[in-house]
Amino acid sequence: MRFKLVSFLFFLLLVSFEYALSQTQNDSTYYYYQAIVNPKTVDHLPSGIRFYTNQRLRHKESADTLSLIKDLRMLAIGEFKIGNVYDSENYIVQALELINTNSAVDTLVNARLGLYNQLGRVYRTLIKPEEAINVFDKALEIAPSTKDSIIILNNKANIFKDLKEYENASEIYKLLIPKSINVNDSLQLALVLDNLGQIQSQLENDEAIMNLILALQIRKNKSYSTGMYSSYRNLSKHYFRIGNTAVAKSYTDSAYNIAAKINSSSYKLDALSLYVEQNGDSKILEFKKLNDSLETAKLLSENKNAFAKYNIDEERKKTEANRLLQVIEKGKRIKYQSLAAFILVLLIASYFIYRYRYKKAKIEEVYKTETRISKKIHDEVANDMYRLMTDLESNAGTKPSVLDNLEKIYLKTRDISRETNAIDVQTDFENNLNDMLLGYKSETVSVVTLNLKKINWNGISDLKKTAIYRVLQELMTNMRKHSKATSVAISFEKKGSKIEIKYSDNGSGCSLKKANGLQNTENRIRSLNGTINFDSSPGNGFKANILV
């Protein structure tokens, strides 16, 4: 029984500890959230930024995307308030990209809305009015409530105010006052009143001071520090504009004290600029004017728009669900196109491979046919002729002229057989080719070969070696039969993956007509994607240039 009681007490202690821990975490998160949204002391903004920076790292490591989006949004607000505008912009873009890739994209409308609103404020600070209005319009398209629309429209009116389009801005602010009252949002009402008071001050409207004071009072009641700074600043400008420098100085002091309290560099710098504006020294005023001009020029010249990577035009046309669907469809389309391209390349490659193999098989079949015919001529026709000649020689009544003619026919048959017999291209091709060429050498004909041994014949295909052998054999046979040449020169040279062969003799030459012999050589070389060119005329010998 005692053991059970101890166990139960331990369980209660554990539950209490976990609850206390969760409450501490919630209280801590709320504290730092308020430190950024409504900073009241010097260390609020820096501590809030440090907190969400650590949270960002932790949530990134745990792949908690939803929490990570919140962290980036808070960092964007904090960095903006302390004057780090470009860091704020980068955090916004990172958060938007996470939203676009998140499966719960439809449930993140409020996060997207807040990020668009903050981005518009960034662009306003960077003096990019068109980009700011573009982003605010984007936000208005997805604003789920009147309260959200009021915030966006107010910020959009601020752009018209910056552009000194006071009438356009005034119409929006006046429209937003009753709406802010209806939604019971006093801080939003104060913001609208403050902005409207600024414009009325510019237009010398008597209602300006009433709206500015009312906005300040609401913000004081809510202890809204950054809002109070804005009110003090605008009241200072208003009183200075109407010539009451003492009251203007008092509000400038209040603005500076608030800026120092929340430790915002941008606010403090702005408050100090009020002192400069209200200083009577013309040189100081000229310094401020020139400095402001240089700062404006610097902002306009810098090209650090991280949001350029984000396609806002496409986002305006489609909901997030449709956009994601388009990305998926695009991925499928690219996949199918890649597959189709791969199949097309495969088909083209297969065609050329098939064509090459078909051509190779056809050439091999031609060579086999030649070899078969050669063997048949030698084994049947030439042998029969030889036996017939032997029989006739033993017959005393045979005329010598008949025997001479038969011998000529026999020799022609033997030559034909030799010209088409099988070639050993596997072993010692170099010597076989050289022996064939020198076989046409005689007492009246000299045959010279150049660089034959410098060719690496082992690296040449069997079909190519066979074609070279046959073409040179036909050229040499043509020389012996028709040209009456006394000198023949054949040179070999490697040209890349091909061999260039130059044939030249000093024979009688001819008018080039594609007789069977020459036509055969062309067919053999062309079948291997090579070229053969002839050069000859009567009395000028015969030349051939082969590249195969």
The distance of Cα 323 from the centroid of its chain, to the nearest Å, equals: 20
Contacts 24+ apart (CB under 8 A), 144-150: 144/109, 144/110, 144/113, 146/179, 146/182, 146/183, 147/183, 147/185, 147/188, 148/110, 148/113, 149/179, 150/176, 150/179, 150/180, 150/183, 150/185, 150/188, 150/192
Question: Using 50, 70 and 90 to split pLDDT, how confident is the model at 417?
Answer: low
- Cα distances (angstroms) measured from residue 51 to each of 55, 211, 226, 265, 285: 6, 37, 20, 19, 41
Other Cβ atoms less than 10 A from the Cβ of 481: the count is 10
pLDDT in tens, 22-80: 455 556 788 899 888 888 787 888 899 999 999 999 998 998 988 999 999 999 999 98
pLDDT in tens, 325-358: 677 777 778 888 888 888 888 888 777 777 667 6
- Report the percentage of the chain scoring pLDDT > 90: 28
Q: How confident is the model at residue 26, as a pLDDT?
A: 57
- For residues 117 and 110, what is the distance between their CA atoms, to the nearest angstrom? 11
- For residues 363 and 214, what is the distance between their CA atoms, to the nearest angstrom? 101
Nearest to 91 by CA among 63, 61, 62, 121: 121
Looking only at the bridges linking them, the beta strands covering 446-450 and 487-495 are: parallel
Q: How confident is the model at residue 484, as a pLDDT?
A: 86
Q: How confident is the model at residue 52, as a pLDDT?
A: 93
Question: Using 50, 70 and 90 to split pLDDT, how confident is the model at 252?
Answer: very high
Q: Read off the pTM.
A: 0.45
| For the ranges 22-36, 247-261, 357-371, 420-434, the one whose mean pLDDT is highest | 247-261
Question: Using 50, 70 and 90 to split pLDDT, how confident is the model at 238?
Answer: very high
pLDDT in tens, 204-225: 888 999 999 999 999 999 999 8
In the predicted model, what is the mean pLDDT of residues 250-273?
Answer: 86
pLDDT in tens, 130-140: 999 999 999 99
pLDDT of 154 above 80: yes
For helices 65-81 and 2-37, give the axis angle rounded to 10 degrees.
40
pLDDT of 474 above 50: yes
Q: How confident is the model at residue 274, as a pLDDT?
A: 87
Q: How confident is the model at residue 467, as a pLDDT?
A: 87
pLDDT in tens, 480-520: 888 889 999 999 999 888 999 999 999 988 877 655 457 77
Question: Using 50, 70 and 90 to split pLDDT, how confident is the model at 432?
Answer: confident
pLDDT in tens, 98-124: 888 876 666 688 888 989 999 999 988
Q: How confident is the model at residue 30, as a pLDDT?
A: 87
Q: How confident is the model at residue 189, as a pLDDT?
A: 92
- Cα distances (angstroms) measured from residue 172 to each of 186, 235, 309, 346: 18, 21, 31, 64
pLDDT of 418 above 50: yes
Question: Using 50, 70 and 90 to split pLDDT, how confident is the model at 384?
Answer: low
Return the higher-pLDDT residue of 449 and 399. Answer: 449
In the predicted model, what is the mean pLDDT of residues 432-438?
Answer: 88
- For residues 105 and 484, what is the distance between their CA atoms, to the nearest angstrom? 92
Residues in the chain: 548
| Contact yes or no for 448/489 (Cβ under 8 A) | yes
Backbone angles phi, psi at 99, to 5 degrees: -60, -45
Q: Helices in 101-206 by DSSP H: which ranges?
A: 109-125, 129-142, 146-162, 166-182, 186-202
Question: Using 50, 70 and 90 to split pLDDT, how confident is the model at 314?
Answer: very low
Q: How confident is the model at residue 505, as a pLDDT?
A: 94
Question: Using 50, 70 and 90 to split pLDDT, how confident is the model at 304?
Answer: low
Q: How confident is the model at residue 58, as a pLDDT?
A: 92
Enter the tokens of residue 137.
């319009």
Return the higher-pLDDT residue of 445 and 304. Answer: 445
Q: Please name the amino acid found at residue 430.
A: E
pLDDT of 281 above 70: no
- For residues 517 and 79, what is the distance between their CA atoms, to the nearest angstrom? 90
274 φ/ψ sector (left φ>0, alpha ψ -120 to 50, else beta): alpha
Q: How confident is the model at residue 21, as a pLDDT?
A: 44
- For residues 179 and 172, what is the distance between their CA atoms, to the nearest angstrom? 11
